[in-house]
């Protein structure tokens, strides 16, 4: 199991997300304290900048998030969790940033990376993914709660006959040709063969086959033409800015709720993530009892 922040949070940490131990002189407003560790206004502002939010609710959430991380860091340090220098170096290289680019000393950047890796290792050691593995019944129950998310949109498979109007073409003549082709279709001629013979552009080489597309992606005019059309039927001549087309509905796959078996893996991920978050909160509550937390207005 992985600590919830990952690489994104490490990038935020580089900007100052995990506060360091108290310095002899503070030139910043203290917004929270966990034992001897302080969280400053700059820590919160930098955290919010990394998360793209700045409203009062986001500020409060950021302070609480930083307090929770600091609680876990102190717990990890008390229990002797240490990150080798080599691991910090590898992580710094993986992030692809240099302390100079960040305007920070290498010592400070390495300390922040080390702190975040310490928290991650501490959490992962205490939250066993195996113990959280849901049973089949639990997965089905979770699917019952979130199943409405898994709506498969309606798709239509189309084939077209496309007649473009070029600079040298008379639009009325192209329209008459389209109407002649429509008459051939009514007489039972093969749509694909007519598209291959008469369509302009690359679509002719594919016998007019467009393939399956979501109905919501169609232009409103075409979607309206297909409304109520049965599979195997075609539209009349549709006039476009650059020409004319006739569209055949090859297949319609209606909107439906995806079955449990289709989304079982996604349901498992969702339930595992929920359980991990719940277990992490219990862990934070437990270790908060061992420290003094002060949050200032």
Class of domain 6-134+265-295: mainly alpha
Q: What pLDDT score does 196 carry? A: 96
Residue 271 CB burial class (10 angstroms; 0-12, 13-18, ≥19): buried
Asked if residue 9 has pLDDT above 70, the reply is no
Query: Minimal CA–CA distance to 117: which of 94, 84, 142?
Result: 84
Q: What pLDDT score does 130 carry? A: 67
Q: What pLDDT score does 22 carry? A: 43
For 66-93, the pLDDT digits (tens) are 999 999 999 999 999 999 999 999 998 8
Rounded Cα distance between 34 and 41, Å, is 15
Residue in the structure block whose two tokens are 């900007």 = 15
* Start and end residues for every CATH 1.10.4030.10 domain found in the chain: 6-134+265-295
Mean per-residue pLDDT over the chain, rounded: 87
Dihedrals φ, ψ of 114, to 5°?
-60, -40
Asked if residue 259 has pLDDT above 90, the reply is yes
Please give the CATH topology (third level) of the domain spanning 151-256. Chitinase A; domain 3 (3.10.50)
Asked if residue 13 has pLDDT above 70, the reply is no
* Start and end residues for every CATH 3.10.50.40 domain found in the chain: 151-256
Residue 59 CB burial class (10 angstroms; 0-12, 13-18, ≥19): middle
Q: What is the largest CA-CA distance in the chain?
A: 92
Rounded Cα distance between 275 and 129, Å, is 9
Asked if residue 97 has pLDDT above 90, the reply is no
Cβ contact 212:157 at 8 Å: yes
Model confidence at 129, in pLDDT bands (50, 70, 90)? low
Q: What pLDDT score does 36 carry? A: 93
Residue 192 CB burial class (10 angstroms; 0-12, 13-18, ≥19): middle
Q: What pLDDT score does 104 carry? A: 78
Model confidence at 24, in pLDDT bands (50, 70, 90)? very low
For 51-65, the pLDDT digits (tens) are 666 788 999 999 999
Asked if residue 295 has pLDDT above 50, the reply is yes
Asked if residue 14 has pLDDT above 60, the reply is no
Indicate yes or no: pTM above 0.75: no
Looking at the DSSP bridge assignments, the partners of residue 159 are: 209, 248
What is the DSSP annotation of 249-266? EEEEE--EEPPHHHHHHH
For 191-224, the pLDDT digits (tens) are 999 999 999 989 999 999 998 999 999 988 899 9
């Amino acid at each position: 199991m992985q600590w919830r922040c990952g690489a994104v949070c490490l990038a935020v940490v580089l900007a100052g997300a995990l506060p360091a131990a108290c310095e002899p002189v503070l030139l910043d407003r203290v917004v929270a304290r966990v034992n001897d560790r302080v969280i400053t206004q700059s820590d919160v502002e930098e955290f919010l900048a990394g998360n793209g939010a700045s409203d009062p609710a986001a500020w409060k959430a950021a302070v609480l998030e930083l307090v929770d991380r600091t609680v876990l860091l102190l717990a990890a340090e008390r229990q002797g969790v240490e990150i080798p220098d080599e691991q910090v170096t590898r992580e710094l290289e993986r992030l692809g940033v240099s302390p100079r680019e960040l305007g920070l000393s290498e010592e400070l950047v390495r300390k922040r990376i080390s702190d975040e890796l310490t928290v991650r290792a501490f959490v992962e050691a205490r939250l066993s993914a195996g113990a959280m593995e849901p049973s089949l019944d639990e997965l089905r129950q979770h699917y019952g709660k979130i199943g409405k998310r898994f709506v498969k949109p309606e798709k239509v498979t189309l084939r077209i006959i496309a007649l473009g109007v070029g600079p040298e073409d008379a639009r009325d003549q192209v329209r008459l040709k389209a109407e002649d082709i429509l008459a051939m279709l009514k007489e039972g001629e093969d749509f694909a063969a007519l598209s291959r013979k008469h369509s302009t552009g690359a679509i002719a080489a594919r016998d007019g086959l467009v393939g399956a597309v979501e109905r919501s992606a169609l232009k409103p005019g075409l979607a309206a033409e297909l409304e109520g059309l049965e599979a195997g039927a075609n539209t009349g001549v549709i006039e476009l800015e650059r020409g004319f087309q006739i569209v055949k509905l090859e297949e319609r796959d209606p909107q439906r709720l995806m079955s449990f078996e289709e989304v079982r893996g996604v349901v498992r991920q969702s339930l595992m993530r929920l359980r991990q978050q719940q277990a992490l909160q219990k862990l934070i509550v437990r270790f908060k009892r061992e420290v003094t937390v002060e949050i200032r207005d």
